[in-house]
Amino acid sequence: MTGPINRRDTLRLAGAAALTGLLVRPSWAQASAKVVVIGAGYGGAACARYLRRIAPEIEVTLVEQNSSFVTCPFSNTVLGGIGDMTDITFGFDALAADGITLITARAEGIDPASRTVTLADGTTLSYDRLVVSPGIDIKYGAIDGYDEAAAEIMPHAWKAGPQTALLRAQLEAMDDGGTVIIAAPGNPYRCPPGPYERASLIAGYLAASKPKSKVIILDAKDTFSKQALFTAAWEELYPGMIEWVSFADGGEVTAVDPAGMTVETLFDSYGGDVINIIPPQRAGSLVIAAGLSNGGDWCEVDGGTFESRVAPGIHLLGDAIMSGDMPKSGFSASAQGRVCAYAIAALLRDQAPPSPSMINTCYSLVAADYGIAVSDVFRVDATGAIKKVDGAGGVSPLAADRAFRQDEANYARGQYQSLTADLFG
């Protein structure tokens, strides 16, 4: 279109939009578009950085409440005593150097109608497109007696940071011969193999330092990620140390007593010296309060653009979304963040978003020198659902020698270094 748009054109365009459902958006050649990203974890950092790289004309503001990010990936190495908190903590200087405007503040509210975000100090930010990667919140109260005070005695450590350090300190303080209980949640939850990697690395620490101790996993599920691989590795590395109680055997924890250090399951009561409750979860409270989960626990998005199904102009990433066949992992969130950056760049240029393709690879360490993996390739179908590509992907072979497991442990570290460098380095 050439020349200024007069009122008649505007009306005609409005009519056309009403008829066809087309939204008329400002061209990207006009004043620079503003994208606000909330959350500087795997999803938000990836989206913000890739958006800067592929569409330098777009202003990117990143809102993050903490001054650094502690990764859940590799936090189990801290619990197992083969990693340190400083190894899993990342600052945001490199993102600022990319030209991303960083705001260290808690986002308190999102108003999809006025396209604004309100920060804790009352400041409002307006956006053309908003990206929210809020992670999970713990559903306190879902397990009877498990509230924020209980989490200081029976840590969840499912948001890495002080909770991780607390659980590690408890493990260090435990006497030899003690019992560590890990309560694993039902699906869906952040990091499906995480509870079992955690059990493995804690068992590794106990086997070396407190060999009369044991780990009991009380599970709200009957099957779990990479189950055959974990089970075989436990028999090989930690025989008799890890007991897994399935849902069918009454494993689901329904209540906790922090004062008595006991947990209740459907059929039984268990006492532990260290008790790690990984409770049911939901999308971060910010997006729940903004109505973006439509009253549910998780947010529905179009898998091609990660745009909300309920609020146009808002994109959601990572653990907070219903992501079809993709697991809730940091790696998935970063893959989605890249795709979302390409989609937003296209949409703000009035172009069609590129057809998405994503990878997820989740390594788990069973020991420092023993890694296992699940890998998949994902596409998006005509309805916007994320689907695994048939014939691709899979888990590590059940029959493999220790050199293969050593390779995958090395690649687990390599992937962690690579991905955190891509996002924060």
Partner 1 sequence: MLKHMGLWATFAVGLWAGSPIMADETAPQLLASQCLACHNPVKGNAIPRLGTDAERIKTMLLAFRADTMPSTIMGKLAKGYTDAEIDALAAEIASWGEGERK
d(CA 116, CA 127): 6
- Nearer to partner 1 by Cβ, of 277 and 343: the residue is 343
192 φ/ψ angles, rounded to the nearest 5 degrees: -50, -40
Q: Measured from the CB atom, is 265 or 305 closer to partner 1?
A: 305
In 3D space, the residue among 98, 104, 118 whose CA is nearest the CA of residue 69 turns out to be 104
The CA-atom distances, in angstroms, between 31 and each of 48, 55, 343, 345, 389 are 19, 14, 19, 14, 40
Q: How far apart are CA 110 and CA 54, in angstroms?
A: 26
Which one, of 248, 253, 243, 230, lies nearest residue 183 by Cα?
Answer: 253
d(CA 158, CA 71): 10
* 417 is a site residue for partner 1 (CB under 8 A): yes
Span from 170-178, 195-203, 283-291, 338-346 in contact with partner 1 (CB under 8 A): 338-346
368 binds partner 1 (CB under 8 A): no
Is position 375 an interface residue for partner 1 (rule: CB under 8 A)? Answer: yes
210 contacts partner 1 (rule: CB under 8 A): no
Examine residue 26 and tell whether it contacts partner 1 (CB under 8 A): no
Among 25, 139, 210, 387, binds partner 1 (CB under 8 A): 25
Alpha helices in 240-318 (DSSP H): 285-289
Q: Which of 177, 186, 211, 414 binds partner 1 (CB under 8 A)?
A: 414
Question: CA 189, CA 320: separation in Å to the nearest integer?
Answer: 10
Least distance (Å) from partner 1 to the CB of residue 304? 5
Q: How far is the CB of 415 from partner 1 (least distance, A)?
A: 5
Site for partner 1 in 286-325 (CB under 8 A): 302, 304-305, 307, 312
Task: Decide if 40 contacts 64 (C-beta within 8 A).
Answer: yes
Cβ closest to partner 1, residue 34 vs residue 405: 405
User: What's the length of the chain?
Assistant: 425
Does residue number 377 form part of the binding site for partner 1 (CB under 8 A)?
yes
| Residue ranges binding partner 1 (CB under 8 A) | 20-23, 25, 50, 53-55, 302, 304-305, 307, 312, 331, 334-335, 338-339, 342-343, 345-347, 349-359, 361, 373, 375-377, 380, 384, 389, 391-394, 396, 404, 407-408, 410-411, 413-415, 417-419, 421-422, 425
